[in-house]
Structure 1
Amino acid sequence: MASNINRQVGGGFDHAQTKVFFGRANLIYALIAAPVLGLFAWLSAQGILLEHPGSDIWQHAAALLALIENPDAPANPFIVSDAGSRHFQPLWVAWAAVARVAGLDVWQVLALAGYAAMALFGIGVYVFARALHPAPWAPLVLFLCLMLGWALPLQHTGFHSPLTLYYAAAYPATYMIGLSFILWALVLRSLVRPVFVIPLCALAVFMFTTHQVGAVIGFIGAGSFALCWPHGPIAVRMRVVSALVLAVCLSTLWPYFNAVEIVLRPGNTTWEGGPAFYSPVYLTAALIPSIFGLAGLRAPESRALLLMAGVFLCIYLVGLTGFQLAGRFLMPLVLVLQVGLAFYFLTGMGSDRRRPVVIGLIAAANLATLAVVANLLDITAPATMPGEVTFYEAAGVLTADIADDQPVAAFLTSAWPVVATGQKVLSVPWPEPMIVDLAAR
Structure 2
Amino acid sequence: MSMATRGAGLLTRRRVHGATALHGRRRWRPSPYVVFGGLFWIIMSLAFWRVPMCCDFGQHAAVVERLKDNLLHPRHPMADLPGAGSPYYSPYAVAQGVFARASGLAGWEVVKLAGPLNLLVLLTGLGRFVKVLTPRQWAPVLALFAMVVLWGTRMAWWSGYLGLMSMTGNLAYPSTFAIGLAFWAWAWAGSLAKSPRGAGAYAGLGALCGVILLVHPISSVAAVIGVVAFAASAKHPLPALWKWAVTAVTAAVIAASWPYYSVFSLVGDESVDWIHRQLYTEMPQRFWLALIGLPALALRFRRDRRDPLVLMFALDCAVVAYGWLSGHYTYGRILGLTLVPLQFALAIELAAPRPWRRWRMALGGVAATGAAIGFFTLQAGAVVPRALDPVGFDQPPRWPGYGWAVSQMRKGDVVLTNGYYPTRSVPAYGANLVAPAWPDASLAEDTRNRRLQEVRDYLSPDATRAERTRIVRRHHVRWLLLSPDQKVPKEAVVVAWGPRTGEVLARVSGGSAKASGGNTNRRETGNTNQ
- Under TM normalisation by the shorter chain, which class is it? 0.7 to 0.9
Percent of pairs identical after alignment? Answer: 22
- d(CA) in 2 for partners of 1:349 and 1:309? 26
> Alpha-carbon deviation of 1:383?
2.0
Match in the other structure for 2:406: 396
Structure-2 separation of matches of 1:248 and 1:282 = 38
Partner of 2:508: none
User: Cα offset for 1:169?
Assistant: 0.8
Structure 1 residue identity aligned to 2:448: L
Give the Cα–Cα distance (whole angstroms) in 1 for the partners of residues 293 and 395 of structure 2.
23
More strand by share: 2
Match of residue 47 from structure 1? 51
How far the C-alpha of 1:268 sits from its partner, in A, is 5.5
Counterpart code for 1:291: L
Amino acid at match of 1:222: V
User: Do the aligned residues in 2 keep the contact of 1:209 with 1:259 (CA within 8 Å)?
Assistant: yes
1:421 positional shift: 2.1
Equivalence map 1:46-195=2 (5 Å): 46-49=50-53, 51=54, 55-84=55-84, 85-152=86-153, 154-191=156-193, 192=195, 193-194=197-198, 195=200
The equivalent residue for 2:448 is 438
Give the aligned residue type for 2:124: I
**Deviations 1:14-54 (CA, angstroms, capped at 9, x unpaired):** xxxxx989x75x521111011112221222123243x2xxx
Task: Name the amino acid aligned to 1:214.
Answer: S
**What residue in structure 2 maps to residue 8 of structure 1?**
none
Deviation of 1:56 (Å): 0.9
2:281 to 278, 282, 300: 278
Query: How far apart, CA to CA, are the structure 1 residues paired with 2:248 and 2:38?
Result: 31
User: What is aligned with 1:225?
Assistant: 230
CA drift of 1:308 comes to 1.6
**Deviation at 1:359?**
4.0
Amino acid aligned to 1:87? Y
Deviations 1:286-315 (A, max 9, x none): 644343443343222762222221121122
Structure with the higher helix share, 1 or 2: 1
Amino acid at match of 2:40: V
Query: Is the 1:149–1:363 contact (alpha carbons within 8 Å) kept by the matching residues of 2?
Result: no
Q: Does 1:342 align with 2:351?
A: no
Deviation at 1:256, TM superposition (A): 1.0
User: For 1:268 and 1:145, how far apart are their aligned partners in 2?
Assistant: 30
Q: Which residue of 2 aligns with 1:383?
A: 398
Q: CA deviation at 1:364?
A: 5.9
Structure 1 Cα separation of the partners of residues 94 and 100 of structure 2: 10
What's the offset of the Cα at 1:368? 5.2
What is the one-letter code of the residue matched to 2:74?
P
Shift of 1:213: 0.3
Match for residue 5 of structure 1? none
Structure 1 residues 143, 356: closer, same or farther in 2, change over 3 A?
A: farther
- Checking the alignment, whether the CA contact within 8 Å between 1:293 and 1:338 is kept in structure 2 is no
Between the aligned partners of 1:434 and 1:309, the Cα distance in structure 2 is 34
Match of 1:4 in 2: none
Q: Which residue of 1 aligns with 2:254?
A: 250
- Gap runs ≥5 in structure 1: 1-18, 385-389
* Mapped pair 1:314 → 2:314: no
Size of the aligned set, in residue pairs, is: 407
Q: Which moved more, 1:183-192 or 1:299-308?
A: 299-308
Larger Rg belongs to: 2
Partner-residue secondary structure (3-state), 1:391: coil
Indicate if the aligned counterparts of 1:187 and 1:200 stay in contact, CA closer than 8 A.
yes
What CA deviation, in whole Å up to 9, does each residue of 1:338-361 have, x standing for no partner?
A: 122223334x54553664785476
- The CA deviation at 1:74 is 1.5
Sort the Cα spacing of 1:43 and 1:241 in 2 relative to 1 into closer, same or farther, 3 A: farther
Deviations 1:379-417 (A, max 9, x none): 324324xxxxx33335526xx357725353435554111
Are residues 1:262 and 2:239 paired?
Answer: no
8 Å CA contact retained: 1:151, 1:289: no
Question: Once the 2 structures are TM-superposed, how far is the Cα of residue 319 of structure 1 from its aligned partner?
Answer: 3.6
Pick one of 408, 414, 422 that aligns with 2:430.
422
The counterpart of 1:304, out of the listed 292, 302, 308, is 308
RMSD: 3.0
Shift of 1:277: 2.6
Structure 2: unaligned runs, 5 residues or longer: 1-24, 382-390, 452-530
What's 1:12 paired with? Answer: none
Report the Cα offset of residue 378 of structure 1: 4.9
Deviation at 1:162, TM superposition (A): 1.4
Q: 1:365 Cα shift?
A: 4.8
User: Does the 8 A contact of 1:44 with 1:167 survive in 2?
Assistant: yes
- The 1:103–1:402 alpha-carbon spacing in structure 2 relative to 1, beyond 3 Å, is closer
In structure 2, distance between residues paired with 1:369 and 1:209 = 33
The verdict on how the C-alpha distance between 1:172 and 1:332 changes in structure 2, with shifts beyond 3 A counting, is same
Structure-1 residue corresponding to 2:213: 208
Normalization by structure 2: what TM-score? 0.69
Look up the equivalent residue of 2:56 and give its one-letter code. Answer: D
Please tell me whether the aligned partners of residues 154 and 285 of structure 1 are also in contact (alpha carbons under 8 angstroms): no
Cα distance per residue 1:254-278 (max 9 Å; x no partner): 1211111133434466x44664533
Task: Provide the residue aligned with 2:35 in structure 1.
Answer: 31
- Give the whole-Å Cα distance in 2 for the aligned partners of 1:407 and 1:198: 47
CA distance in 1, matches of 2:229, 2:246: 13
Give the deviation of 1:157 after TM superposition.
1.6
1:106, 1:391 → 2: CA distance?
Answer: 15
The Cα of 1:104 is off from its aligned counterpart by: 2.3
Residue 430 of structure 1 and its aligned partner are, at CA, apart by 2.5
Aligned-pair CA distance for 1:179: 0.9
Between the two structures, name the one with larger relative contact order (CA 8 Å, sep ≥ 6): 1
